Structure 1
Amino acid sequence: MGALTLLAQTQADAIQMPYRALMVGYAIFIPALLLLNYMTKSGVIARATTKEAIRQPVFLLMTALGLTVITINVWVPFFSLGDDTKMYIDCGLATVLICSLLHCVWTASVSVADEIEGKTAMTLLSKPINRRQFVFGKYIGIFQSALIMIAILGVVFFFLTYYKFHYDQKESAQEQTPLVYFRAVSWLPFQMPFMNRVYFEVARSILPGLTLIGMEVAVMTAVSVAISTRVPMMVNMIVCFAVFVIGNLSSVLVQSNVQNVFVRFFARLFATILPGLDHFNMSAAVSTGKIIPPEYIGLAGLYCLAYVAAMLMVGMWLFEDRDLA
């Protein structure tokens, strides 16, 4: 029996702490975001930016691409010797991350850099809104649009993970009898097992991974917004790509036994200045059924908040003396 099955059966007997901690975090984060949107001047810009970002073709394209890949992978054989569900979860989390990151970087370039270059930012700043509120509102709006994309992909990913585990168990003759099946209807080409706690626990195991992806997207959005206050879209996308690659490799180089002095020096320099994105990459742990401790998620959230605040201050400093005329 696979690791995911054993873990799911263990979790089915008791509610695990990571999920309680996540629910508490969501209950604090979502109302705070709503208050920020409707009780501050930056919230006005944030709401307008979110609506604009959702209407962009790149949002629809990335969402459709993510849904297509996640759906097709349900029936794609991974040839993993009985661990297809683990590979499916790993690929699904990577798909959500890539789609949301591409959307954020592109939208930050269009929403911030193009508005500055096109002089439309002057219209907003002529109202009782200062430059710091403009940058902060743009960041919140872009990040909110990414959260909407992650939520859409996450909901579909959850139910398809549920079905994928059932599908793999049935293919390997290890299926557990579900309590109820959805009745076959014209728009549903397959029967879906319902109310099976083991399948539910496997599907629920993607929540910590999706939460960490949201944190990584928050960090990269802050980097992109800060850079967009000074450089055009193409430069912003190249720099963000370099930050993403180096941010996932710098800590690995620091911990490795590389003897080259220059490599170790620059690895430590990049690990200090650039975000440690590998701290948010827990897809391998999630796909293999390991429980991510709530303490780790909490520390990752604090690190995300600190780095986002630092990058937004850098962006505000860069934008403070930017000539808009």
Structure 2
Amino acid sequence: MFSWLSNPNVLLGGLILAVAQVLAALPWLRAIDPRGFDKAAKTPAGVGYALGALIGIAVLFAGFVGYKGDSSSLQLYGRIYGAILHAQLLIDLFLIAPAVLTLILPKTGAVALAAYREGWRQPMFWLITIFGILLTWFAVILPYFTFGDDFKMMKQIGFDIVMLGAALFGVLASSISISEEIEGRTAITVMSKPINRRSFLAGKFLGILMACGGMSLILGLNLNAALLVMPEFDPINKDRAFDSMPVQAKEAIVPLIGKVMPPGPARTMAEGAGMWFGEIFAHTFGIGLGFGQVMILVAIATALATRMTFVVNLVICLVVFFLGHLAPVVVRVADEMRLKNPDNAALGLVGFLGNLFDTLLPALEFFNMGPAIIRDAPLDLWPFVGYVMTVLGYAVIYTLIALIVGLLLFEDRDLA
């Protein structure tokens, strides 16, 4: 039972597993008590306690993998290990991202940090997040009657939940926060300091957008877990629950992790963690594709909030959302029908309006994850990554246009 104590590969593997978790925990541990953390880090006793804790955790990991041996369940435990490490890295990102923005753009970052913290403190944020998590797991048990494509349907619904949750929060937060600060004269107090209107508007947008990103990543972690459970819950369609992109990501990541770990059960567990991160890597691009849509809608809501009330802003954003998805379909259908009925004037008017909306409004259909999931031929990961980067570039351009329009509206607004 204790033979692992004399196995250097197991001990070294346990140490590597422990070091990864401890290093990931340092940023959020410091965030809990920065002064106490810094003070302890400068004392020999504090460093000694930290090393003792690290050794203790390493022994626990070594004992666990040594006890399990070459058990087939080690990869499952590795996925759980990877999920915990992933959650810690997300917390680190949530703490570091606003701090980096504040260092790069001090004035804008200060406003963004306040909006970011306000977003996390809002009950609406957690209500939408919890509802999205529950809805994702409900999608796991929901029968789809698709004759073998239940996994694809559930996956598309999961990505839509991530996108819609973040978009809903972003639009509501932008509409309420900015409008209330302007109407309540809080914006005057903020801009009486050395912060101009550009910094105020950009900071509000970036802070709310970072909060939306945090929600997307939390829901994305939950979605990855749900996608792992879905085939086990539905054994009839288990053989059809295949997605080429996560497989390609795992084929690239798992061997790299295997090179770091010594041979033995610790490597098997680490490979399970690599599978988790491979799946997350592939799914993150799908989440990023939807996040481009979130970014555009938040930018539009931010721009409109400088002049319009919450209700009007929300209605306009809903109209933009639906027309942005429907306009390409209207154009395509109108063109097909005009080929059959070229003399129909009504179709010409419909086609004109469809082209008008398709030109002026963002093409939100570009951000739809459905065609990448529900398809006969498997999709390669790296061409999809290139497509996502291209579409996100389009989203950034449209976002900048919306923010410039919002800034023009805000510059002429009398705040007194």
- Same fold per TM (> 0.5)? yes
Name the stretch that deviates more: 70-79 or 88-97.
Answer: 70-79
How far residue 98 of structure 1 moved from its aligned partner, in angstroms, is: 1.5
Is 1:290 the counterpart of 2:379 in the alignment?
A: yes
Structure 2 distance, partners of 1:296, 1:140, is 24
How far residue 205 of structure 1 moved from its aligned partner, in angstroms, is: 4.5
Name the stretch that deviates more: 32-41 or 145-154.
Answer: 32-41
Structure 1 distance, partners of 2:288, 2:404, is 24
Structure 1 distance, partners of 2:138, 2:322, is 27
Structure 1 distance, partners of 2:191, 2:390, is 36
Other structure's SS at 1:275 match = coil
Name the stretch that deviates more: 204-213 or 98-107.
Answer: 204-213
Is 1:250 the counterpart of 2:327 in the alignment?
A: yes
Letter in structure 2 aligned against 1:247? G
Structure with the bigger RCO (C-alpha within 8 Å, sep 6+) is: 1
Structure 2 distance, partners of 1:307, 1:172, is 41
Larger radius of gyration: 2
Letter in structure 1 aligned against 2:352? F
Aligned length: 279
Of 166, 176, 182 in structure 2, the residue corresponding to residue 110 of structure 1 is: 176
Structure with more of its chain in helix, by fraction: 2
How far residue 273 of structure 1 moved from its aligned partner, in angstroms, is: 1.2
Following superposition of structure 1 onto structure 2, how do residues 21-100 of structure 1 map, counting pairs within 5 Å? 35-40=100-105, 41-100=107-166
How far residue 97 of structure 1 moved from its aligned partner, in angstroms, is: 1.5
Q: Deviations over 1:20-48 (max 9, x none)?
A: xxxxxxxxx99887533332110100010
Following superposition of structure 1 onto structure 2, how do residues 304-319 of structure 1 map, counting pairs within 5 Å? 304-319=395-410
Structure 2 distance, partners of 1:321, 1:47, is 26
Structure 2 distance, partners of 1:173, 1:245, is 35
Quickly say closer, same or farther: Cα 1:323–1:173, change in 2 above 3 A. Answer: closer
Of 292, 297, 310 in structure 2, the residue corresponding to residue 220 of structure 1 is: 297
Q: Is the 8 A contact 1:205 1:286 kept in 2?
A: no
Unmatched 5+ residue regions in structure 2?
1-92, 242-270, 339-346
Structure 1 distance, partners of 2:162, 2:389, is 21
Aligned to 1:5: none
Structure 2 distance, partners of 1:34, 1:49, is 13
Q: Is the 8 A contact 1:219 1:308 kept in 2?
A: yes
How far residue 156 of structure 1 moved from its aligned partner, in angstroms, is: 0.9
**What percent identity do the matched residue pairs reach?**
34
Following superposition of structure 1 onto structure 2, how do residues 152-301 of structure 1 map, counting pairs within 5 Å? 152-168=218-234, 170-172=235-237, 174=239, 195=272, 205-256=282-333, 257=335, 258-259=337-338, 260-288=347-375, 289-291=378-380, 293-301=384-392
Following superposition of structure 1 onto structure 2, how do residues 12-23 of structure 1 map, counting pairs within 5 Å? none
Structure 1 distance, partners of 2:396, 2:111, is 21
Unmatched 5+ residue regions in structure 1?
1-28, 177-193
How far residue 254 of structure 1 moved from its aligned partner, in angstroms, is: 2.3
Aligned to 2:393: 302
How far residue 199 of structure 1 moved from its aligned partner, in angstroms, is: 9.1
